[in-house]
Amino acid sequence: MDRKWTLALSGFQYERLQAHLHPGDGLEAAAILLCRLVTGDRSRLLVYNYILAPLTSSARERDHIIWPGEVLSRAIDSAEDEGASLVLIHSHPGSMLAFSSIDDVSDRDIVPHIFAGWSEQSPARYHGSAIMTPDGAIRARIYDAEHNEQMVDLVTVVGDDIKYFWLEDIEGSNPPAVVQPFCDGMTDKLGRLSVGIVGASGTGSITAEQAARMGFGEINLIDFDLVEHKNLNRILNSSIADAQESRLKVNMLKTAIESYRDNCAVNAYPLNISEREAVLAASKCDVLFGCVDSLEGRYALDLLAQAMLLPLFDVGVTIPTRVSTDGRVVISDAFGRIDYIQPGRSTLFTREVYNSESLRAEYLAAADPDAFRDEAAEGYIKGIAHEAPSVIALNMQAASASMLEYIARAFPFRHESNANYARTIFSIASAEQDHFAENSFSTEEHPLFATGLREPLLGIPSLSE
C-alpha cells in the first residue's frame, strides 16, 4: 500500500479518449488531460477534462506524432485558471506499453516548456505524460518543477467497469494480463487497494467481513456508533462483552479483522460521515461502500464519488409494513437495493434515493424531534414510511450482492455489459430481482465532478474548515 501516485479517470471520458487515441488507422494520436491534483500520502491526479489533438492537423505516423503546439497552448490557458496539472497522452498502436526514446526526448523538451510558460503565480507542481496501447492500458509518469521524473503507480478508470492499470504489472513493455475473478490473482490485486466502508452496522459489518476475507490491503471503517445489546442480532463479530463495554463498532471490527488478517491495515474512524475528518479519510480510498442508514451519509458519499472520481456501492434494505383492515401490522415485502455510482453519470440524487426535502426532514428530526412531528402532522413533511427492523439474513443478501457487484465491475465476468446493472433491487416476497441500466437514469453535469477536496469540502459549508 505504499503507493505514491494515482491517475484517475471517469469511464465516459476514458471511452472517448480511447476512441480518439486509437481511431483504427494504426497511427499515433494524442490528447492532453487536464487534472486536478490532490496531494497527500497517496496523491491523486483527477482528470476533469481533456483536449484532443486534431487527427487531421497532426503529422501522424505508426510510431510518431507531431501535433500542433496551439493545442498545448490552449491547454495551458485553460489549466492556469484552475491551477491544474497537464498530462500529455498519446497512443502506441504497436502495443508497446513503455515510453520510447523519442517520448523521452519529447518530454525533456516540452515539460520544462510547460513549467516555464506558466503565467499564474502558483504553478501546479506536477505535469506529466502518458501512453495508451490499443487494449486501453495506460502508463503514466509525472515531473515536478525540477523536472524529476516519477512513475505513476496506478492508473484507474471508474466507469461501467472499474479498471486498474498497475505499473508493477507491466513486464517490460507488455500490457498486463487480464485478471480472472475469484482466483488468486484477484486476491493479489485487492491486496493493493484501499476500501472505505461507511457504516459498521447491519450491512457494514458484513461488508467489512467480506472485504477483509477477500483480501483488501487496507480497510477504513467509518462509524460513530457504539455496540449495544440490541445490535447483537445483526452485527457480525459483535459480542456481549463489546455491548457491555459499549465499544465503538469500528474498534470492535478492527480487532476482529486483525485476528484473522495480518497483512491488512485496518483504520477505525469513530466519526459520522457528515464530519470533515471522516470525509477526508474516505477520500483516500479506492472504492467506497455506503452502508449507512442516514440520507445525510448517502448525500456526502454521493458527492465524494463525484469529487474524487471514486466508485461507490450503496446498499439499502427495507421491510415495509402496512396495517390490515383488522388492525394487524402486515409485512408487505423484504427488499434489498444496490446502487453503483460512477463519476460523471447518474447519482443517488438523480436516482431519487434522497432529495432536498428528505434531507431537510432528516436534519429537523435530529435537531428538534418535536418540531419534526409538528411539521409532519401539518403535512409539510411527507412520506415517512413504516417499516419493520431489518434482519441479518436480509442484510447478508444485500451486502453480498453489493460486494459481488464490485467484483463484477473490477474483474468483469458478467454475460452482459455492466452498464445494465446500475441498480439492482431484489424482492424476497416475490422472489424477483430487477436491474436498471445506467442510461435509464438521468444524468446532469455535476458541479463537483473531479474537483477533489476544494473548499468548502463537497460544497457543504458545514464540512468546511
Among 2, 109, 378, 432, binds other proteins (CB under 8 A): 378
Residue 57 buriedness (CB in 10 A; 0-12 / 13-18 / 19+) = exposed
Phi, psi of 436, deg, nearest 5: -125, 130
Which CB sits closer to other proteins, 50 or 372?
Answer: 372
d(CA 343, CA 392): 31
354 counts as binding other proteins under rule CB under 8 A: yes
Point out which span in 208-216, 218-226, 256-264, 291-299 binds other proteins (CB under 8 A).
291-299
**C-beta of 439: minimal distance to other proteins in Å?**
21
Binding-site size, other proteins (CB under 8 A): 31
Binders of other proteins among residues 420 to 459 (CB under 8 A) are 444, 446-447, 456, 459
Q: Which is nearer to other proteins, 99 or 349 (CB)?
A: 349
- Compute CA distances 335 → 318, 388, 424, 426, whole Å: 5, 12, 10, 6
Alpha-carbon torsion, ordered 258, 263, 268, 272, to 10 deg? -120
If binding is defined by CB under 8 A, does position 413 make contact with other proteins?
A: no
Instruction: Give the nearest distance from C-beta 361 to other proteins in angstroms.
Output: 8
- What secondary structure does DSSP assign to 278-321, as a single string? HHHHHHT-SEEEE--S-HHHHHHHHHHHHHHT--EEEEEEEEEE
Rounded-to-integer distance, Cα 437 and Cα 418, Å? 8
**Among the listed residues 267, 270, 259, the one whose alpha carbon sits nearest the alpha carbon of residue 285:** 267
How near is the Cβ of 462 to other proteins at its closest, in Å?
Answer: 5
C-beta of 372 vs 421, nearer to other proteins: 372
For position 359 contacting other proteins by CB under 8 A, the verdict is yes
- Minimum CB–partner distance for residue 349 and other proteins (Å): 7
Minimum distance from residue 259 beta carbon to other proteins (Å): 37
Q: Which is nearer to other proteins, 209 or 223 (CB)?
A: 223
Q: 154 or 348, CB closer to other proteins? A: 348
Listed residue (84, 82, 52) closest to 68, CA to CA: 52
Query: Which stretch, 42-50, 109-117, 141-149, 351-359, contacts other proteins (CB under 8 A)?
Result: 351-359
Rg (CA), the chain: 24
| Grid cell in block for residue 345 | 453519470
Q: Does 360 bind other proteins (CB under 8 A)?
A: yes
Check residue 83 for interaction with other proteins (CB under 8 A).
Answer: no
Work out whether 274 is an interface residue with other proteins (CB under 8 A). Answer: yes
Nearest-angstrom CA–CA distance, 70 and 53? 9
CB 126 within 8 A of CB 104: no
* 407 contributes a contact to other proteins by CB under 8 A: no
Among 168, 357, 440, 442, binds other proteins (CB under 8 A): 357
Q: Specify the residue, 137 or 353, whose C-beta has the smaller distance to other proteins.
A: 353
Nearest to other proteins of 69, 369 (CB atom) = 369
What is the smallest separation between the CB atom of 23 and other proteins, expressed in angstroms? 35
256 vs 300, beta carbon nearer other proteins: 300
DSSP per position, 68-135: -HHHHHHHHHHHHHHT-EEEEEEE-TT---S--HHHHHHHHHHHHHHHHH--SSS--S-EEEEEE-TT
Of the pair 384, 388, the CB lying nearest other proteins is at 384
- Cβ contacts of residue 140 below 8 Å, gap of 6+? 7, 87, 89, 128, 129, 130, 131, 151, 152, 155
Does the footprint of other proteins cover residue 339 (CB under 8 A)? no
Angle at 167 between CA 161 and CA 169, to 5 degrees: 80
Q: Quote the least distance from Cβ 461 to other proteins, whole Å.
A: 4
| Choices 120-128, 165-173, 330-338, 356-364; region in contact with other proteins by CB under 8 A | 356-364
Residues binding other proteins (CB under 8 A): 274, 295-296, 299, 303, 349, 354-357, 359-360, 362-364, 366-368, 371, 374, 378, 380, 444, 446-447, 456, 459-462, 464
